[in-house]
Amino acid sequence: MSNVLIVAEQFDGKLRKASLHALGAGQQLAARTGGALHVALLGHGIAEAARGLAGFGATVHVADHPALAHGLAEAAAPVVVQIARDCGATLVGAAATAAGKDLLPRAAALLGAGMATEVLGLGGAGPAILFRRPMWAGNVVAEVEITTPVKVFTVRPTEFAPAAAGAAGEVRAVAVGIDAAALRTRSVDFQVVKSERPELTEARVVVSGGRGTKGDFKAVEALADALGGAVGASRAAVDAGWAPNDWQVGQTGKVVAPELYVAAGISGAIQHVAGMKGSRVIVAVNKDPEAPIFQVADYGLVADLFQVLPALAERVKASR
């Protein structure tokens, strides 16, 4: 058996959209290898989220257990291993979210598997898969081969189309035998970053601010709101405490690919560009005409962001 298992994610009982992109990658792999597609969902009280995984031609494995409620890798990794073995999976993947990057390497180690992180595309021929992935902050794209019998990967959601509709797929409950008392990890608290705005990685428009905002994100946020978009930030702005961690776009933050990305007061360091260069249209607003951001921007405006952003927001509102 050489099947494909995608580990889906939910948060608070809601399926994460990124998982449907990972499932899309799973469909491609199943088509390439001729294997069957399986998808697993782990958590507690996840029946509704599990229903969202039906209809993609995959067998759905639902592992519902109180010890899986907080996404602890220590608890979840053995369950992923159990499901992978049960369904004969030789390709085990997930979305390259923080949760996927936490869990999948631990599961890979338990499976004795090599792993490719943040896969951008699939190379090779037929069932011999090569994984294309970024290295050196996206300066380089490597084609890697994994030689262990089981191969583990995470995919960058923006690089794979969401799963196409398919057969309903059987739903199976997984018998989870976790000894909760033996776990040596406990979730103590979760401070949710609440936002009325769309999720950064799913927004049609992202407006990001950098050090050039000097700590005043009001103009950035107002433009994002006028456009119904999400707000992002450079590392410099997050490090300074002007924006939550969760807003960081880049090599080590979120990777976004919206229809429109506006970079305001951001110089365009390679580590930032790595997280937004897949955007369809990039606008840069920067006072420095030599700023490297202009090398990747479709439209550049050499000006003060505090003048440009409010004026642009006005134009947007006036056009409604």
Partner 1 sequence: MPLKILVTAKRVEDPESKIRVKPDGSGIVTDGVNYKMNPFDEIAVEEALRLREAHGGEVVVAAIGGEKQQTELRAALAMGADRAILVRHDGPLDALVVSALLAKVCEQERPDLALLGKQSIDDDQNQAGQYLAARLGWPQATFASKSESLESEAEQKKLPGVVVAAGGKSARVVREADGGLQTLEVQLPAVVTVDLRLNKPRFASLPGIMKAKKKELKELAAASLGVDLAPAVVVRSLAEPPRRKGGVKVADVDELWKKLHEEAKVL
Residue 78: CB minimum distance to ligand FAD, A: 32
As a whole number of Å, the end-to-end CA separation of the chain is 56
Is 94 in a helix, a strand, or coil?
A: strand
Burial of 88 per CB tally in 10 Å (0-12, 13-18, 19+): middle
Of the candidates 144, 138, 142, 96, the residue with the CA atom closest to the CA atom of residue 117: 96
Residues 257-286 that bind partner 1 (CB under 8 A): 259-260, 270-271, 277, 280-283
Our finding on whether 138 is near ligand FAD (CB under 6 A) is no
Which residue lies nearer to partner 1 by CB, 36 or 237? 237
Our finding on whether 13 is near partner 1 (CB under 8 A) is no
Run of H or E including 63? strand 59-64
Asked if residue 213 lies in contact with residue 170, where contact means CB atoms within 8 angstroms, the answer is no
d(CA 128, CA 144): 11
**Among positions 43, 212, 229, 258, the unique one binding ligand FAD when judged by CB under 6 A:** 212
List the structure tokens of 283. Answer: 């606008």
d(CA 212, CA 266): 6
List the structure tokens of 120. Answer: 């951008």
Which residue lies nearer to ligand FAD by CB, 90 or 279? 279
Among partner 1, ligand FAD, none, what binds residue 212 when CB lies within 5 to 8 Å by partner kind?
A: ligand FAD
Q: Using CB under 6 A, which of the segments 5-13, 73-81, 145-153, 266-274 binds ligand FAD? A: 266-274
Our finding on whether 128 is near partner 1 (CB under 8 A) is no
Residues 54-83 that bind partner 1 (CB under 8 A): 70-74, 77
Our finding on whether 312 is near partner 1 (CB under 8 A) is yes
**Among positions 179, 189, 196, 290, the unique one binding partner 1 when judged by CB under 8 A:** 189
Our finding on whether 240 is near partner 1 (CB under 8 A) is yes
Residue 231: CB minimum distance to ligand FAD, A: 14
List the structure tokens of 198. Answer: 């769309």
Residue 296: CB minimum distance to partner 1, A: 5
Which residue lies nearer to ligand FAD by CB, 22 or 305? 305
Residue 143: CB minimum distance to partner 1, A: 5
Our finding on whether 119 is near partner 1 (CB under 8 A) is no
Asked if residue 170 lies in contact with residue 60, where contact means CB atoms within 8 angstroms, the answer is yes
Q: Tell me the per-residue interface mask from 133 to 172 with partner 1, x by CB under 8 A, - otherwise.
A: -xxxxxxxxxxxxxxx------------------------
Is 127 in a helix, a strand, or coil?
A: coil
Residues 223-252 that bind ligand FAD (CB under 6 A): 234-237, 248-252
CA dist 199 → 17, 69, 193, 247 (Å): 10, 22, 11, 10
d(CA 160, CA 255): 13
Asked if residue 141 lies in contact with residue 134, where contact means CB atoms within 8 angstroms, the answer is yes
Binding-site ranges for ligand FAD (CB under 6 A):
210-212, 234-237, 248-253, 265-267, 269, 271-272, 275, 285-288, 291, 304-306
